[in-house]
Amino acid sequence: MATNLEYIKSASGTDITQFNITDIFSSKYDVYHINIYEYINSDNSDFFTMRFLDSGGNLISDNEYAYANFNMRFYTFSSQNKSASTTEINNIGYSQSNSISSTANTISIYNPFDSSSFTFVDWQSAINVHGFGGAGAKAIACHKNAEQITGVNFRAGSSASPNSINSIKAYVYGYR
């Protein structure tokens, strides 16, 4: 069986509080990959989160998500985070208070456009934590409501200031 990874679009944002990538999911693919190759938050050190946009472009922020991730740090102990019911998928990536520390993420999203199926997610990230060293994460998540998803929303975590995403850049691919 031949398979192809096909480019859909790129997206970027600067000096924003939230970052939407819209109109990326369709019936053409069942699996999508989002590669975030830059995330800079010079206001504060924090993880960033992800939520979905429904078929009307509305942000899904109800208690419809579950996630679990394993944080691997070369400079200290590993840790894990998880929630069976939350309003967003946490710990997608990380940035410190300078541009030297950034993240690279590969996020895979399964069946987002299928209104009869839950949407599943897995991701992995590589992080440079300035002054400490390398870190990484592996994680899984689920949007626990069967509905049609058309896009994603990223935002800085709870400890970041309101204008917290100084720069974010992503590529989106469909897989068949």
pLDDT of residue 37 exceeding 60, the answer is yes
The Cα–Cα gap between 44 and 20 comes to 21
Q: What integer pLDDT is reported at residue 11 of this predicted model?
A: 94
Q: What integer pLDDT is reported at residue 171 of this predicted model?
A: 95
C-alpha of 161 from chain center: 19
Average the pLDDT over 75-93 and give the result.
84
Under the banding of pLDDT at 50, 70 and 90, the label for residue 43 is low
64 vs 14, higher pLDDT? 64
Task: Spell out the domain ranges in the chain.
Answer: 5-175
166 vs 154, higher pLDDT? 154
Q: What integer pLDDT is reported at residue 2 of this predicted model?
A: 46
Q: What integer pLDDT is reported at residue 155 of this predicted model?
A: 84
The 3-class SS string of the chain reads CCCCEEEEEEEEEEEECEEEECCCCCCCCCEEEEEEEEEECCCCCEEEEEEEEECCCCECCCCCEEEEEEEEECCCCCEEEEEEEECCEEEEEEECCCCCCCEEEEEEEECCCCCCCCEEEEEEEEEEECCCEEEEEEEEEEECCCCCEEEEEEEECCCCCCCCEEEEEEEEEEEC
pTM of the predicted model as reported, rounded to 2 decimal places: 0.87
pLDDT of residue 70 exceeding 50, the answer is yes
pLDDT of residue 99 exceeding 70, the answer is no
Share of the chain above pLDDT 70, in %: 84
What is the assigned CATH class of domain 5-175? mainly beta
Question: Tell me, what amino acid is at 141?
Answer: A
